[in-house]
A and B are shown apart, each in its own frame.
Chain A
């Protein structure tokens, strides 16, 4: 699905060498809110034309603030952002016409109809009325049948589709999706991913924020990690997933071990600090995990097992690892 050539895998936006194919350039952007809360610290990033960039980060990391600055909702305290070569503060009319934003919160006028709400958005972004385009957008999002329904009568998933339809109503070239699948059921999430892929095929650049690694894995070309207002890294998804993809099995033993028995030396095993457990690290995506033969050999080695737990690095731990890796 990655149709865009990736030239610089760890390009975090070197100001001396701005990416020639960048549609959005963020340079040393910082934001301190009234009251002193620092949301962003000197973030620099180039977003490439036509790519899908996923921004991962815990709550309060600064993802939404970054998006809000690019879209013009929040004024940056320092730094510059350009979209399509225009400054987002000085030439806001040009930049905002290029951008569509799907906000995190479901913010919709409850008593308006779907059609009126989406038509309103198109006008707001400076485009003349065009029922044909609205029809196309509503059909793409499976909202055409609901066009005359009041928003308040729609399900949560449908409301989220309306938000996307609003963002697409003026045919933006850059689409921001802020936590598009938070609290969304599996089916809708899949639909959302398909919509995103179709938009990319149309040449739309997509930036999405998410908590879910699977989401980034499913659709992104590149992944950026934000934590405590800093961009920790931006990397090609494939590279990052290899780094993040390992899983562990913790095997509790009845009798403590001093060292790993000879018969088990072929496995990636570690002994827990107390000697009461073995920890086996494997790659779940690699096809053969070696779990079956490990357990057979554990039995042959005469070890008695009390309990078995599997463990996958949580996003939190991955952040910690990444942060450690950076310093």
Chain B
């Protein structure tokens, strides 16, 4: 195990985060605050309570997930795409470091950044709406798992992308719709029965549901199912990454 290498990659990536602190942290916090102002205060005040909490409070887990998912994917995809783009990946590939160590370094840094942003948004939300967290350990567990699995997914995107457009494409065309349609801003029980069933094919539904359960003890699906789905997604991403390194897909050829 090349601990020094994992540490080097992790610290190098984190130093990029801190160097670009403004765009890394301030912009997601600002956009989330806008959601709270618009949906929570302006529109939400006219809504009835959802699942026993005010609408503004209800959307907090979904908003955190929205940001954490997009941030994880974009951080991790950029983290590995940028060295490919500028060519510094050559040095990584020529280093005495295993594929797993490379992934731990990059995905660890991306997930850390997303986690920090998630926590900051949680604290920001606390300023706008009253919050209660029934199961804090589960909440942190879901947050960490989501950060890691979607950073892994982002890593795959970063390896797959051939240009910056493709790098933007997946977060924009896949993640954002899935999150918006995954119950960030509503309970899927509010949907007509047909759409409730269709929505169950959206993996993000399980994430948001489980995460929301850890706050309010209420979810669209059971917490066990949520956890199983996150684990499944994590396993799929890990498998894909193993395949990437085994075949050298878009990295070593």
A-facing mask of B1-33, CB < 8 A → 1, else 0?
A: 010110111011001100100000000000000
- B94 an interface residue at 8 Å Cβ cutoff? yes
Which of the listed residues A97, A101, A124, A126 has the most CB atoms from chain B within 10 Å of its own CB?
A124
Cβ contact within 8 Å between B5 and A126: yes
Q: Compute how far the CA of A110 lies from the CA of B16 in the bound complex, rounded to whole angstroms.
A: 11
Q: Compute how far the CA of A34 lies from the CA of B5 in the bound complex, rounded to whole angstroms.
A: 30
B-facing mask of A89-118, CB < 8 A → 1, else 0?
A: 000111111010101010111111000100
Which of the listed residues B2, B90, B91 has the most CB atoms from chain A within 10 Å of its own CB?
B91
Residues of B within 8 A of A95 (CB): 96
State which of A66-74, A204-212, A216-224 sits at the interface with chain B. Answer: A66-74
With CB as the reference atom, state the residue of chain A lying closest to B85.
A107
Which B residues, 76 to 115, have Cβ-Cβ distances below 8 Å to chain A? 83, 86-88, 90-97
A-facing mask of B25-50, CB < 8 A → 1, else 0?
A: 00000000000000000000000000
With CB as the reference atom, state the residue of chain B lying closest to A116.
B15
Cβ contact within 8 Å between B12 and A92: no
- A121 an interface residue at 8 Å Cβ cutoff? yes
How far apart are B179's CB and chain A's nearest CB, in angstroms?
30
**Residues of B within 8 Å of A, CB-based: how many?**
26
With CB as the reference atom, state the residue of chain B lying closest to A178.
B90
Cβ contact within 8 Å between B5 and A71: no
- A267 an interface residue at 8 Å Cβ cutoff? no
Q: Compute how far the CA of A72 lies from the CA of B5 in the bound complex, rounded to whole angstroms.
A: 16
- A243 an interface residue at 8 Å Cβ cutoff? no
Which of A73, A97, A105, A116 meets B96, CB within 8 Å? A97
Residues of A within 8 A of B192 (CB): none
- A295 an interface residue at 8 Å Cβ cutoff? no
User: For the complex, would chain B's binding face be called helix, strand, loop or mixed by DSSP majority?
Assistant: helix
- A36 an interface residue at 8 Å Cβ cutoff? no
With CB as the reference atom, state the residue of chain B lying closest to A111.
B19
Q: Compute how far the CA of A122 lies from the CA of B12 in the bound complex, rounded to whole angstroms.
A: 12
How far apart are B78's CB and chain A's nearest CB, in angstroms?
13
With CB as the reference atom, state the residue of chain A lying closest to B97.
A124
Residues of B within 8 A of A92 (CB): 96
How far apart are A104's CB and chain B's nearest CB, in angstroms?
10
Cβ contact within 8 Å between B93 and A73: yes
Interface residues of B, Cβ cutoff 8 Å to A: 2, 4-5, 7-9, 11-12, 15-16, 19, 83, 86-88, 90-97, 248, 252-253
Interface residues of A, Cβ cutoff 8 Å to B: 33-34, 71-75, 92-97, 99, 101, 103, 105, 107-112, 116, 119-129, 166
Which 10 interchain pairs have the tightest Cβ spacing? A123-B8, A107-B87, A96-B96, A93-B96, A71-B94, A124-B95, A123-B4, A120-B12, A126-B2, A73-B93
User: Can you report 5 A-B residue pairs in the complex whose CB atoms are below 8 A from each other?
Assistant: A75-B248, A116-B12, A122-B8, A123-B5, A124-B8
Q: 8 more A-B contacts (CB under 8 A) besides A92-B96, A107-B91? A: A74-B253, A105-B87, A107-B86, A116-B12, A124-B91, A125-B95, A126-B4, A126-B5
